[in-house]
């Protein structure tokens, strides 16, 4: 039987772990383990963990490592065959433990996968599979869609990236990939890992029968914008093959020019500037990491690009992103890129995150 190592990174979330840990602990079996990495919480979170999960390994680094480095720290303590990263506010539902391990037991061959993540106590989708635009902008697929409790659960499928809110990965794959990029601190680390796994020839999936409910909130302060923009570009620099980067250069430049106005209008212009400053400081390291990552690449630029999309369908991007003229321009551009790269299927086709054709 698969031995599961669950890693939870906490930071000032005592009430969240009071809700999430009991149902998780109830489902863990013999040989499974729970590792909680607490990033110097000041609200009594470690005491709550000791009370609710006395058998858990509690790692206390004494400072806030961030989510990515916290996950890496927890993974080094894990001994199971399958690593599972769960947000501290993600509450597992009945049958979750066996369902999240099923892709490995069934031999689907996925490099990593996620469960179905709901919100509002199961009433809406938080993410049914991550979506990545060719400009590196990424979002939660299906976010906000109402859940029909009477509908049959969809079959497992493939997604562009697996959400870090509920991400499972075989230990061997994790070690080969080198874990999350610790310097990211927060945001986009799941996109980066998924794209690196794709570069190595891996596939990313979703097991919809493994359901967790997540207390998701999109707006979390100005640091989020700085982190998302910095880490988006770091992911592009690290993972995009050279041929794809060359063809996308005009679109990436146009996106940056557009984001200047968008960030100023949205009140986070200073965070965009700080993201550029971070990138300038990181660039020598990113170039070294890029050489290492690209040297291990096992798929062509066209196959890698096939997982990306031309459509900006996230509800958080606003109406301008969904405007018909922009949509058709992006699709035309991406189709031309796909033709030049020889992608195995036409990039930008309208699909659900799990790869099933949209109606």
Report the percent of the chain where pLDDT is more than 90: 85
Contact 250, 204 (CB under 8 A): no
Q: What is the average per-residue pLDDT within 53-67? A: 97
Helices (H), 267-311: 269-295, 301-305
Q: Taking a C-beta distance cutoff of 8 angstroms, is the pair 188, 92 a contact?
A: no
Residue pLDDT, tens place only, 293-324: 999 999 999 999 999 999 998 877 777 777 88
- Is 4-214 a domain of CATH 3.90.550.10? yes
Per domain, the residue ranges of the chain are: 4-214, 223-341
Q: What band does 349 get if pLDDT is binned at 50, 70 and 90? A: very low
Q: pLDDT for 7-53, tens place per residue?
A: 999 999 999 999 999 999 999 999 999 999 999 999 999 999 999 99
Distance between CA 352 and CA 141 in Å, rounded? 8
Q: What is the pTM of this model?
A: 0.93
Strand-pairing partners, residue 36, are 8, 58
The per-residue pLDDT for 219 is 60
Report pLDDT digits (tens) over 243-258: 999 999 999 999 999 9
Q: Phi and psi for 318 in degrees, rounded to 5?
A: 85, 175
Q: Where residue 218 falls among pLDDT bands split at 50, 70, 90?
A: low
Residue whose C-alpha is closest to residue 160's, from 307, 22, 48, 42: 307
Question: What Cα–Cα distance (Å) separates residue 180 from each residue in 106, 164, 356?
Answer: 26, 10, 28
pLDDT of residue 345: 61
Could you tell me the sign of the dihedral formed by the alpha carbons of 23, 26, 32, 35, in that order?
positive
Lowest-confidence range among 154-158, 245-249, 284-288, 343-347? 343-347
* pLDDT at 217 (0 to 100): 67
Phi, psi of 88, deg, nearest 5: -65, -20
List phi, psi (to 5°) of 309.
Answer: -125, 160
- Structure token pair of residue 281: 């400081």
What does the alpha-carbon distance between residue 140 and residue 306 come to, in Å, rounded to a whole number? Answer: 18
What is the Cα–Cα distance from 126 to 144, expressed in whole angstroms? 6
**Is 327's pLDDT higher than 80?**
yes
| Cα–Cα distance measured from residue 46 to residue 60, given in angstroms and rounded to the nearest whole number | 8
Q: In this structure, are residues 119 and 213 in contact, taking their beta carbons and an 8 Å threshold?
A: yes
For residues 48 and 76, give the distance between their C-alpha atoms in angstroms, rounded to a whole number: 23
Q: What is the mean pLDDT of the chain?
A: 92
- For the segment 351-358, the average pLDDT, to the nearest whole number, is 42
DSSP SS3 for 130: strand
Read off the pLDDT of residues 115-158 as tens digits, 9 standing for 90 and up.
999 999 999 999 999 999 999 999 999 999 999 888 888 899 99
Please report which helix (H) or strand (E) contains residue 193, including its range: helix 189-199
Average pLDDT over residues 209-226: 82
């Amino acid at each position: 039987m698969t031995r599961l190592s669950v890693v939870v990174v906490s930071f000032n979330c005592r009430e969240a772990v009071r809700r999430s840990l009991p149902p998780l602990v109830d489902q863990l079996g013999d040989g499974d383990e729970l590792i909680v990495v607490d990033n110097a919480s000041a609200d009594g979170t470690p005491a709550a963990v000791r009370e609710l999960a006395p058998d858990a390994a509690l790692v206390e680094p004494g400072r806030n490592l961030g989510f990515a480095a916290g996950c890496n720290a927890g993974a080094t303590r894990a001994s199971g065959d399958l690593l599972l990263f769960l947000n501290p506010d993600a509450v597992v539902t009945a049958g979750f433990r066996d369902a999240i391990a099923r892709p490995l037991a069934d031999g689907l061959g996925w490099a990593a996968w996620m469960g179905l993540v709901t919100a509002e106590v199961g009433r809406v989708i938080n993410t049914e599979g991550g979506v990545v635009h060719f400009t590196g902008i990424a979002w939660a697929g299906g976010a906000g869609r109402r859940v029909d409790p009477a509908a049959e659960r969809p079959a497992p499928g493939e997604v562009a990236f697996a959400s870090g809110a509920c991400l499972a990965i075989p230990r061997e794959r994790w070690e080969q990939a080198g874990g999350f990029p610790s310097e990211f601190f927060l945001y986009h680390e799941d996109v980066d890992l998924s794209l690196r796994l794709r570069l190595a020839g891996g596939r990313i999936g979703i097991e919809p029968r493994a359901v967790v409910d997540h207390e998701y909130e999109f707006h979390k302060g100005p640091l989020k914008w700085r982190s998302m923009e910095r880490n988006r570009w770091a992911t592009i620099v690290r993972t995009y093959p050279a041929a794809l980067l060359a063809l996308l250069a005009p679109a990436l430049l146009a996106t940056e020019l557009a984001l200047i106005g968008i960030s100023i209008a949205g009140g986070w212009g200073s965070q965009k500037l700080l993201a550029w400053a971070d990138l300038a400081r990181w660039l020598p390291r990113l170039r070294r990491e890029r050489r290492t990552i690209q040297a291990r690449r096992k798929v062509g630029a066209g196959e890698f690009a096939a997982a990306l999309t031309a459509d900006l369908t996230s509800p958080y991007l606003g109406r301008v992103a969904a405007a018909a003229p922009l949509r058709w321009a992006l699709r035309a551009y991406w189709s031309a890129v796909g033709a030049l790269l020889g992608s195995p299927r036409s990039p930008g086709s309208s699909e659900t995150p799990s790869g099933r054709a949209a109606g």
